[in-house]
Structure 1
Amino acid sequence: WVRYPFLLWMLVSVLTGIVGAYYHLLWNAQDAEVSLWSLKGFLEAFEGSRPVLAALAHTHVGAVAFVVGITIRD
């Protein structure tokens, strides 16, 4: 009975990480006044002051835990 709430929570974690990374990326791009549609602008926004990588790590942990959760049986 613990498995399905865990899987749901990991999907929420993945979605939260994706939304957070996108939000911080847009915020950094706005602060740096660059366009995300160019490689230089994207890289400059990615290395900004807001933690885009932390949100992506949150997504990675949720995705790995979800895959482990669906592959391990009782």
Structure 2
Amino acid sequence: MIQELQELTKDISVKARTAINDLIKVDQTSDSAKRTKKLRKVMQKLDPETIRELFELYKKTSDGIAEGTPELL
């Protein structure tokens, strides 16, 4: 599983990697109101290219999960 994720993310940009790390930090916020505020702030900072890149990565990983690819489960 780890190797599969590393393969999927090896070519992503620094901006996309930073955005993923920021989103993970936001997701760990326990207070719902603070989490929403932080999420809005992270998303507003993203440029269209980074959003597109994150969406493409999401499609790759969600397709694998939907197809039951064991490496992504």
TM-score by length of 2: 0.36
- Greater Rg, structure 1 or structure 2? 1
Q: TM-score, normalised by structure 1?
A: 0.36
Structure possessing the higher relative contact order (Cα contacts under 8 Å, 6 or more residues apart) = 2
